A and B are shown apart, each in its own frame.
Chain A
Amino acid sequence: EPEVTQTPSHQVTQMGQEVILRCVPISNHLYFYWYRQILGQKVEFLVSFYNNEISEKSEIFDDQFSVERPDGSNFTLKIRSTKLEDSAMYFCAISRDSYNSPLHFGNGTRLTVT
């Protein structure tokens, strides 16, 4: 299974601060995703990214969120001004293509907003 490394494993931040979550896929995959899981709830899709642009996003992914792959390697999720309700596990995932190809997940970053 391809490796997906996420950093940091745990991030604590104050409400209103900006956070950047990072994902480094080891092998060469085309599609990148962010999912999140609020404690006790299901894993929810946030955004998919292909060819340096967003291919789809959910209603959760509002103007406070952005993604980019600045150096062709790291895939980042930025939350501009964090809110308490942003506290969750954030999972990066990759796949070879968008159809008929399973997603491989990272270990996740636990974000705690205080």
Chain B
Amino acid sequence: AQRVTQPEKLLSVFKGAPVELKCNYSYSGSPELFWYVQYSRQRLQLLLRHISRESIKGFTADLNKGETSFHLKKPFAQEEDSAMYYCALFTGTASKLTFGTGTRLQVTL
């Protein structure tokens, strides 16, 4: 069965420091992975997806099939990055997203 693991519940960094939010997955097929972000009192929003290989708001994530990871990174954290971040695995045939438990990123001055 598919599973997504986000080992950190809370990650606290200083403004300007690098950020890495960890995500590991378990899936027997070809994975499609996403990062969703939820700012305070707002909806879950798509941040990025691995097939796009794009950078959104300075964030990037690379799929590493050998390590079954899809870590989210940003070189310099900003205050407005403070939010809940969810890694999610999409299995096309099952038409559903499997979410990790989420990591709260707290960026402090």
Contacts and interface: CB of A to CB of B under 8 A. Distances in A.
Most interface-central of A58, A99, A100, A102 (chain B CB within 10 A): A102
Contacts, number: 54
Nearest to A97: B95
Given A105-B43, A107-B42, A43 B99 contact: yes
Interface of B: 32, 34, 36, 42-46, 49, 51, 86, 92-102
Given A42-B101, A43-B86, A100-B51, A105 B44 contact: yes
Contacts of B93: 99
Interface of A: 1, 4, 31, 33, 35, 41-45, 48, 50, 55-56, 58, 91, 98-100, 102-108
Contacts of B34: 102
Contacts of A106: 43
A58 to B, nearest CB: 8
Contact of A102 (B49, B94, B99): B49
Contacts of A107: 42-43
Nearest to A1: B45
A98 B94 CA distance: 8
Given A43-B99, A91-B43, 18 more contacts: A1-B46, A4-B43, A35-B97, A42-B99, A42-B100, A42-B101, A43-B44, A43-B97, A44-B99, A45-B96, A50-B95, A91-B44, A99-B93, A100-B92, A102-B34, A103-B46, A105-B43, A108-B43
